A and B are shown apart, each in its own frame.
Chain A
Amino acid sequence: VAEFITVQTLNGLVYSMLLFVFALGLSTTFGLLRFVNLAHGSFLLLGAYVGMSTLRATNSYALAALAGAGIAGGIGLVLERLFFRKFYRRIDLDQVILSYGLALVFLDIAKMIWGKDIQSLPTPHWLSGGVEIASVTFPIYRLVLIGLGCALFAATWLTVERTRIGALIRASVDDRDMVGGIGFDVRGLFALVFAAGAMLAGLGGVLAGPITSVYPGLDFEILITTLIVVVIGGLGSISGVFWASLLIGITDTFGRALFPDSASFLIFGLMALVLLVRSWGVPEEEIE
């Protein structure tokens, strides 16, 4: 029993960290730009595929991660310029349909280039061993992922809370018109934040590859869980997203292990519950 709990907790932590890396971008676009981006999963999928191809060509993980993150960030920037910026002021429904359309397009493009089969991204050989924790051997790679996730949390939290650009981001989450009105380049800031979020998603794809494998459909699968994280975490709050990632990551991992039949029931129920508790007693049109 102790072993079971240790292993599941560690796996849950790994899953949480991957969710966090991926959710950061989604949450900031949602909090800062008020944009619901269902195409965020495409960044992850493209990042994973590009990383995979780079790895096969160069045999270098550093290059793979760089290429995956770079391409995803680049595509994010282009999409922001071409489509998304025109939709910041439109209603949620329009944003959902636009980004859903884009996600369908990218999914099929990925299928055309990389095929429809499940492909594996090997673990880096220098991280392929295991470590013994409480009488359980656990892969080093996964431990490194947990560390990376925590480091990323610290870095983004410091950026948002302690730097000038972070202050601008927080101010824009509160009132973007005011920030623009006093002379800051809000559009540039939005593009930057959007591209950074896409880049992180692409990086997340490369990091997740050795664990989840890479296949068409991975994008929507992770996107849906991440939407739950973002909704529970609240608008554009870094620590909110972090704790929500932990909650969902661990709940889902234990749920799958203990009640394989009703795991998704659990996390969706959790989201509905959080939404309802948060809004109980407030007229629905006043909920932010």
Chain B
Amino acid sequence: MTLSATTNERHREPVENRIDLILGLVIAAGLGLAPLVGVSDFQLSLLLEVMIFAILAMSLNLILGYAGLVSFGHAAFFALGSYAAGVAANKLSPEIWVSLPIGVAIATLIAIPVGWLSIRLSGFYFLMITFAFAQMIYAVVYRWNSVTGGSDGLLIHGPTLLHESVLQSRQALYFFTLACFCLSFLAIQRIITSPFGRVLVGIRENTRRMRALGFNVRNYKLLAFTLAAAFAGLAGFINAQFTLFIAPESAHWTQSGTVLVMVLIGGTRSMVGSIIGAAIVLLLQHWLSSYTEYWSLALGVLFIGLIMWAREGIYGLAARAVVLLRKRAL
């Protein structure tokens, strides 16, 4: 084998990444077709919610699966995106080119100091400090009545563009969300396959070695943390346009826990997994809560089963099945 062949080999993307990209595009195409084939309004809302939480789950997976940072406060950035966009819409202007950037920017800006402090810890202590910061953010939105509406939540004005109402119909909002979803997926996929993403994986696998190789580990972690918060803020912004109401519960730690489980159910080694995980948890929640008020019991059983027997998530199970089938075919 010649030298050029080996370097080529090295620079080629792993085959899983291409499979992920194709799977993601298939999912996006399916979501794009859904409103055209006569899906009911209720189902459309459900799909909308799935896309919003898929963006949130992918953003968490960026730091959880790739950088190995277990954040237990990710929902705080989601809520910050919602609240910042909502407050901007109510107090400044409901123009979408005002509220969207403000929502994402506030989530990102607050993530910088929070991340800068949090990445000084790892493992369980990282989990606890992100949890602490998220609870502090929750305390602020829950108590700051004059701005956030406190425990009553916040009703927000619908978005406008050049003083015309936009995204009012379910369909319009659906396609807007779909566009955001596709762009987020492509962007995050691009991030994790870039040299930056490979460095993150290196840090996850062996922080000390990466440090010894001269990488400024903390800068990489901080950038990943901030990027993840930006996408979470985007998801929060869309959710605010979807419900036109923001409840302080969106910043609560149980919400962070739910997102964490979405990522784990899908499998942390793939962004498509996070999309599937978000879909499974949300659909299960809707389906179970229509049958019984004790749906969190079923959810708890799901968590236990997942962690006991399917640690790699759906994606890991699928990969194992593929390997088995190949063996049989040979």
Contacts and interface: CB of A to CB of B under 8 A. Distances in A.
Contact of B117 (A100, A108, A272): A272
Interface string B190-228: 000000000000000001100100000010000000000
A104 B299 contact: yes
Interface stretch (B14-22, B28-36, B278-286, B303-311): B303-311
Interface string B35-58: 000000000000000000000000
Nearest to B301: A105
Given A93-B260, A279-B121, 14 more contacts: A92-B70, A93-B264, A97-B261, A97-B303, A97-B306, A97-B307, A98-B308, A109-B297, A111-B294, A224-B253, A272-B133, A275-B125, A284-B207, A285-B208
A83 B120 contact: no
B122 interface: yes
Nearest to A104: B300
Contact of B296 (A96, A107, A268): A107
A152 interface: no
27 contacts: A93-B260, A94-B311, A96-B70, A97-B307, A98-B307, A100-B300, A101-B300, A101-B302, A101-B307, A102-B304, A104-B296, A104-B297, A105-B300, A105-B301, A108-B296, A111-B294, A224-B135, A224-B253, A264-B135, A264-B136, A268-B136, A269-B132, A272-B136, A275-B129, A283-B207, A284-B120, A287-B123
Interface string A74-102: 00000000010010000111101110111
Interface residues of B, number: 44
Contacts of A275: 121, 125, 128-129, 132
A284 B218 CA distance: 9
Interface in A243-288: 261-262, 264-265, 268-269, 271-272, 275-276, 279-280, 283-285, 287
Contacts, number: 120
Nearest to B203: A285
Main SS of chain A's interface residues?
helix
A2 interface: no
A104 B139 contact: no
A287 B302 contact: no
Interface of A: 36, 83, 86, 91-94, 96-98, 100-105, 107-109, 111-112, 224, 227-228, 231, 261-262, 264-265, 268-269, 271-272, 275-276, 279-280, 283-285, 287
B133 A276 contact: no
A228 B133 CA distance: 12
A268 B307 contact: no
A286 to B, nearest CB: 9
Interface of B: 70, 72, 117, 119-129, 131-133, 135-136, 139-140, 143, 207-208, 211, 218, 253, 257, 260-261, 264, 294, 296-297, 299-304, 306-308, 311
Contacts of B301: 101, 105
Nearest to A111: B294
A97 B299 contact: no
A275 B114 CA distance: 13
A109 B301 CA distance: 12
Tell which of B121, B140, B253 has the most Cβ of chain A within 10 Å.
B121
Contact of A268 (B139, B218, B294, B304): B139
Nearest to A87: B307
Contacts of A227: 128, 131
Contact of B207 (A96, A102, A107, A285): A285
Contacts of B132: 228, 268-269, 271-272, 275
Contacts of B139: 262, 264-265, 268
A264 B251 CA distance: 14
Nearest to B134: A268
A274 to B, nearest CB: 10
A84 to B, nearest CB: 11
A103 B141 CA distance: 26
B143 A262 contact: yes
Nearest to B305: A101
Given A227-B128, A272-B129, A287 B121 contact: yes
A285 B308 contact: no
A83 B304 contact: yes
Nearest to B300: A104
B297 A105 contact: yes
B303 to A, nearest CB: 3
Contact of B123 (A92, A231, A261, A264): A92
Contact of B294 (A101, A108, A283): A108
A139 to B, nearest CB: 30
Tell which of A100, A269, A276 has the most Cβ of chain B within 10 Å.
A100
Given A97-B303, A101-B302, A92 B124 contact: yes
Nearest to B304: A101
A104 B140 CA distance: 26
Contact of B303 (A104, A224, A279, A284): A104
Nearest to B126: A284
A259 B311 CA distance: 44
A23 B260 CA distance: 25
Contacts of B140: 265
B120 A36 contact: no
Contacts of B122: 284-285, 287
A34 B125 CA distance: 12
Contacts of B129: 271-272, 275-276
Contacts of A264: 135-136, 139
